[in-house]
Amino acid sequence: MSIVSSVRTARAEAPSFSFGRAVSLLAGAVVVGIEKVMTRAELARSRNQLAQLDERLLRDIGLDRAAARFEATKPFWS
């Protein structure tokens, strides 16, 4: 076996760039990012609704006004 043929064989076995795989990985990352943003937005809506509850409803779920206010004032990303 010559050196040239062994180099050709080695190159054929090396993994090559796959555009389809790169697009698939990028699309997956975009989907995960969108899901995270949607989850954070839903959490923010829930916290806003919690802030609107009256004392009786807060007592029903086992919270006091201070705990509800603390949770409701958390930023979007936490």
Per-residue pLDDT, 25: 93
Is 2's pLDDT higher than 90?
no
For 16, 20, 32, the CA distances from 25, given in Å and listed in that order, are: 16, 9, 11
Q: Minimal CA–CA distance to 30: which of 38, 40, 19?
A: 38
Domain contains 56: yes
d(CA 47, CA 45): 5
Residues of the domain holding 45: 40-78
User: 3-55: per-residue pLDDT in tens?
Assistant: 555 555 555 565 677 888 999 999 999 999 999 999 999 999 999 999 999 99
Residue 71's pLDDT is 92
pLDDT at 75: 86
61 token code pair = 């779920």
Q: Give domain status of residue 34, yes or no.
A: no
